[in-house]
Amino acid sequence: MRIKLEQLAQHLQKQSAPLYTLFGNEPLLILEAADLIRTHARQQGYTERELFTIDHHFDWSELLNAGSNLSLFSNRRIMDIRLPSGKPGKEGGKAIEAYCNTLPPDTLTLVTLPRIDKQGQATKWFKALENASVLIPVYAIERAQLPGWIGQRLGQQQQKADASTLQFLADNVEGNLLAAHQEIQKLGLLYPSGNLTFDQVKDVVLNVARYDVFQLSEAMISTNAARYTRILAGLQGEGTAPLLILSTLAEQIRQLILVRKGLEQGQPPAQVMQAARIWGDRQKTVMTAAKHISFQSLMQGLVCAAKIDRIIKGVAQGDVWDELLQLGIRLADTRMRNH
């Protein structure tokens, strides 16, 4: 049975299941959901806990033996099974199927997995988990949803802020929910219940964003020149090597050229993405950008990248950070004009 993450608390109030499976790529939300399940289990008398963190050296017989090794005088227990890779292998897949088919008595089992793609969800071991457990997919909070999520979390500690302040908070954590959680807790400790002013939040919130070159690349092709400017400034402040930034941006431009050529030749989008080695959530962003940034603009972007490379190597004159800024803003503005 699948339920949404927001339905978990209500579900636990009504009943307990012998097996729960959490899977997703948002560590904070996974951790909170797992804590909620374990707390509920302890309240129901599951006082013992066995933890299995599975890697490629793991002996799957240990899990099956632990599942069947429950003495007459044992207390109720929690079996906490964590598979960080999301790939149990052939032996592990069979062990998971066997475990699901004969769930141990007086045991609440919690399985934690990373994000599992459609191919992985079609495997026998995952289907066994889906059929035997309460399955809870944990999706990442989209950037556009982050201010609302922060507002909801502030509300849980009887605080609130206006839309511009929430947006400021979201911009400064740059999609990092753990960082957002820490800042929200800090605001709860420093200020009483009620409205938070922008100045109060600005005085407290440090720039906890952990910028990386891939976020910069995404901002460049997402019609968001302001975000591109902010991330580039953050990378400069953190001392990131300009050559690393340039290499990442140039590779993104080359991928867009490859995708645009493939689409113009009538190739199926899935085939184009595979050829460009673009996977997962990036496919939608890249596909949209490839349709709206002209081939001429992309080629001009490569010319600019070549100039920046010469500046970095000291064979051309110019301010490398200003040139990197102009490169990204031109492509972002080009997409906006063509949209």
Average pLDDT for residues 295-314, to the nearest whole number?
92
- Tokens of residue 267, six digits: 């190739």
DSSP for residue 314: T
At 332 the three-state DSSP class reads: helix
Calculate helix-pair angle for 225-237, 320-338, nearest 10 degrees: 160
335 pLDDT above the threshold of 60: no
Average pLDDT for residues 15-36, to the nearest whole number?
93
285 touches 222 (CB < 8 A)? yes
Distances (CA, A) of 303 to 217, 276, 294: 17, 21, 15
338 pLDDT above the threshold of 60: no
Instruction: Please state, rounded to an integer, the average pLDDT across all residues of the chain.
Output: 88
Q: Of 20-24, 164-168, 169-173, where does the model show the most confidence?
A: 20-24
Q: Which residues lie closer than 8 Å to 321 by C-beta, 6 or more apart?
A: 232, 236, 242
| pLDDT of 25 | 87
| pLDDT of 36 | 95
Q: What percent of the chain has pLDDT over 70?
A: 94
Q: Which residues lie closer than 8 Å to 36 by C-beta, 6 or more apart?
A: 8, 9, 12
Q: What is the pLDDT of residues 234-254, one digit of tens each?
A: 889 888 889 989 999 999 999
Residue for token digits 């044992």?
Answer: 74
N-term to C-term CA, the chain: 42
Class of domain 5-138: alpha beta
Q: What is the pLDDT of residues 258-281, one digit of tens each?
A: 999 998 898 988 888 888 878 777
Start-end ranges of CATH 1.10.8.60 in the chain?
143-204
Is CATH 3.40.50.150 the right assignment for the domain spanning 143-204?
no
82 touches 114 (CB < 8 A)? no
| pLDDT of 142 | 85
- Give the whole-angstrom CA distance, residue 230 versus residue 170: 13
57 pLDDT above the threshold of 80: yes
339 pLDDT above the threshold of 60: no
154 pLDDT above the threshold of 60: yes
Q: How confident is the model at residue 153 (pLDDT cuts 50, 70, 90)?
A: very high
Q: Which residues lie closer than 8 Å to 299 by C-beta, 6 or more apart?
A: 257
Start-end ranges of CATH 3.40.50.300 in the chain?
5-138
Start-end ranges of CATH 1.20.272.10 in the chain?
213-338
Class of domain 213-338: mainly alpha
The model's pTM is 0.64
